[in-house]
Amino acid sequence: MIIAELKHLEELKQVLAGYRKVLNVGCGGCTSVCLAGGLKEVDDLNTKLTLSFKADNVPFQIDGFVVERQCEVPFLAELDRLVPRYDAILSMGCGAGTQFLAERYPAKPVFPALNSKFVGVNRDLGWYEERCKCCGDCLLAVTGGICPITMCAKSLLNGPCGGPQDGHCEANKDAPCAWIQIYERLKAQGRLDAIYRVSPAREWEGQVQGSLVLEAYKDRYVKKTES
C-alpha cells in the first residue's frame, strides 16, 4: 500500500489562506490503513485547522467527507454534489488520489494534505516499512521473495558488497544485509542456483529503505528496535 504522512499544520494553513470554505476529502484505502487519511484523521485535521484559524481571527469553515478510494474515478462521483459549495478542496489521499481530484474538478484548487512516502507494509500499528521501489522489473522470483533493490541500501543486484558485518548492512547497521538473507532463504529452499544469473547494473541513487513510525507510536517501537 501507499504509505503517507500528514504535512505540517503551518504548511497547510499557508496554502489554504484566503479560502473560507474548504472540503477535506479523506480516502478509505491506503491512507486510511496507514492512519493518515481516514475518517478519524480527517476529523482531527479539521479540528486543528478550525481552532488555528479561529485563534488568528480568520473566518474559516472546513467540512470532511471520505470516499472509498480516491484513486478510482467511480468513487469520486459522490463528491459531485458537494464540491460546488466549496472554494477549495483538501485531499488526504495519496499523490495519485490528489491528482484524480484535481482532474475531476479543474475549476477548484486542490491541495494535498499528505506527503506520499513509499510503497510499504504494515509492520505494526503506526509502524510501516518500504518493501517495493516499483522498479518495473521484479526480481523476487530469483531472490527468494526478498527485494534487493529496496532492502539493500546500495540496491545491489548480484550479491552483497564487501561491507556486511555480523550479518548487518554497513550503510545501516540496524538493518540486516539483504543479500545474506537472500542467500540463507534460497539455501533453505535448495534454490541457490537461482542467483547464478548475472543481472545488468542499473542507475540507482538514494535507495536506503524507507521507514515511518508515527509520532504517537515512537516510544513504543524505539525499545523494540533496540532490543
State pLDDT tens for residues 116-152.
999 999 889 889 999 898 888 888 989 999 999 889 9
> Of the residues 60, 86, 118, which one is the last residue of a structural domain?
118
Report the C-alpha gap between 24 and 16 in whole angstroms. 11
- What CATH number has the domain bearing residue 28? 3.40.50.2300
pLDDT at 123: 87
176/209 same-domain check: yes
**Range list of H helices, 56-172:** 73-76, 95-104, 148-151
pLDDT tens digits, one per residue of 62-109: 999 999 999 999 999 999 999 999 999 999 999 999 999 999 999 999
C-alpha atoms less than 13 angstroms from C-alpha of 100 in its C-beta half-sphere: 20
The domain boundary, picked from 90, 118, 146, lies at 118
Do 60 and 31 have their domain in common? yes
Listed residues 64, 86, 118: the one ending a domain = 118
**pTM of the predicted structure, to 2 decimals:** 0.82
Both 95 and 135 in one domain: the answer is no
Q: Please report the pLDDT score of residue 9 as a whole number.
A: 97
Domain of residue 181 covers 121-226
Record the cell numbers describing residue 141, joined without a space.
Answer: 522470483
Name the domain count of the chain. 2
Predicted confidence at residue 204, as pLDDT, reads 58
- Cell 505494526 belongs to 124
